[in-house]
Chain A
């Protein structure tokens, strides 16, 4: 049965780029959901069965780190794995994301192979 993935990014363009890379990654995703910030992502997670989340870090309203922190406090969704996608590579911000439960990080520009490798280990 195909998996459901949620892409969280304030840029519609970036969501389309990630979505296309997901389709090319060779993982059987039956549903690709989208959210434009952390708050919207929490709403989507609460209303859908999502297998994995790919999230940007820098977003308005609720950024990726705030999203991780808020998600970790909601029992029904706290165990859904999240992988961060960002241009930022600073160890501090990645460590902070992991301390809030992120399972990994993918740096832009990513390839479908890298997505397959990273998400495949989580699904």
Chain B
């Protein structure tokens, strides 16, 4: 019988490892009532999981946090970060988080993921087929990651 790694902690580990190794930012799971990110301040990207399960992963954070992270990566003041640079960072982070998450869920198995794409406006409402992780960095700035899709969420069921 296939043994899956636990779905929920796998994502937390994927986000923590990606942010720490790529942009030197430590995050932990937010306790208590999650910090809301107003739609006007929100930046988010989404990426499809294509095979062997289907679903979608979204990474969302305040635009100001994304600019801070981008400034660190490019070695420039956050005021100098262009929109294009910031969006590239968000997409690269989501791409790496998604790949690492799938590797943790399906060790030694192949998977196919799509390309991240920047989205705008309010995030879709989380339904019963969506899991949301609320994380914060050491400055208590929030970031959130969503995994959605009935097929992808079957992995969550198998992990329980």
- Interfacial residues, chain A to chain B (CB-CB below 8 A): 11-14, 16-17, 20, 87-92, 107-111
A111's partner among B21, B92, B111 (CB-CB below 8 A) is B21
Q: Give the contact-size bracket for chain B.
A: 20 to 34
The A/B interface has a contact count, at CB < 8 Å, of: 50
A109-B21 CB under 8 A given contacts A20-B73, A87-B96? yes
Q: Check A87–B73 contact: CB distance below 8 A.
A: no
A12-B88 CB under 8 A given contacts A87-B96, A88-B99, A109-B100? yes
A109's partner among B73, B85, B96 (CB-CB below 8 A) is B96
Q: How many angstroms from the CA of A107 to the CA of B73 in the assembled complex?
A: 19
Q: Check A13–B110 contact: CB distance below 8 A.
A: no
Q: How many angstroms from the CA of A111 to the CA of B21 in the assembled complex?
A: 6
Q: Check A11–B17 contact: CB distance below 8 A.
A: no
Q: Check B110–A110 contact: CB distance below 8 A.
A: no
User: Nearest B residue to A58 by beta-carbon distance?
Assistant: B115
